[in-house]
């Protein structure tokens, strides 16, 4: 039978965070940050620590009050739960970095997900005759005779509803008002005469 500590170890959750600092960071400051974050780990030692750096930007993302600065990004995984606000306060005071230059984010936030670098695709989308980008697409739903017929039917239904709302009635199909097959109206209203201008 498993012990309680074994179950506890299996159920241990990890908490990833992305720390962004728009300021110069020395090696001493980075080591100090690892020590400070060690408080949130089981062994008081931060193991998951990745760092990267952006080039100098006129207006760095997430830092509206900072201009012409590079951003140091640190990805860490903690063992104990905490909030972004708590980490911001804690690191800001511990590292001596202003709150305007330090941002803590969760990697699962929508603003962070769209910044993740994706592998560039090879070739153009239209070069793939099998359309592997969308394998379950039903192409007849977007073009073709069936689609066109349904589209025209939908437009006619909308037109009928609009006419009904306005109180208009569509004229019924029947005999034409001026029917040339009818005997009435086949005679000219000008009476024929015996006068011939060529006769003398």
For the entire predicted model, the pTM comes to 0.53
Question: Which among 19-23, 44-48, 135-139 has the top mean pLDDT?
Answer: 19-23
Q: How far is CA 15 from the centre of its chain?
A: 26
pLDDT in tens, 99-152: 899 999 988 777 776 666 667 777 787 787 777 777 677 777 778 888 889 889
pLDDT at 173 over 70: no
pLDDT at 13: 82
Q: For all residues of the chain together, what is the average pLDDT?
A: 81
The domains of the chain are located at 10-113, 138-167
CB-based contact 15:84 (threshold 8 Å): no
CATH of domain 10-113: 3.40.1310.10
- d(CA 15, CA 176) in angstroms, rounded, equals 80
pLDDT at 89: 93
Length of the chain, in residues = 200
pLDDT at 140: 77
168: left (phi over 0), alpha (psi -120 to 50) or beta: beta
């Amino acid at each position: 039978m498993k012990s309680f500590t074994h179950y506890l170890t299996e159920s241990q959750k990890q908490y990833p965070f992305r720390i962004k600092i728009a300021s110069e960071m020395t090696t001493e400051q980075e080591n100090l940050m690892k020590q400070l974050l060690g408080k949130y780990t089981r062994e008081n030692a931060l193991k998951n620590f990745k760092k990267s750096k952006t080039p100098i930007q006129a207006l760095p993302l997430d830092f509206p009050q900072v201009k012409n600065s590079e951003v140091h990004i640190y990805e860490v995984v903690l063992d104990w739960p905490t909030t972004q606000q708590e980490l911001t306060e804690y690191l800001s005071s511990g590292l001596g970095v202003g709150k305007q230059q330090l941002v803590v984010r969760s990697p699962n936030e929508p603003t962070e997900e769209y910044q993740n670098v994706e592998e560039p695709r090879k070739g153009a989308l239209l070069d793939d005759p099998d359309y592997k980008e969308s394998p379950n697409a039903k192409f007849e739903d977007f073009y073709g005779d069936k689609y066109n017929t349904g589209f025209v039917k939908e437009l006619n239904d909308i037109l009928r509803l609009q006419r009904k709302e306005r109180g208009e009635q569509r004229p019924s199909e029947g005999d034409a008002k001026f029917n040339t097959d009818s005997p009435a109206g086949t005679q000219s209203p000008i009476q024929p005469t015996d006068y011939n201008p060529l006769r003398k």
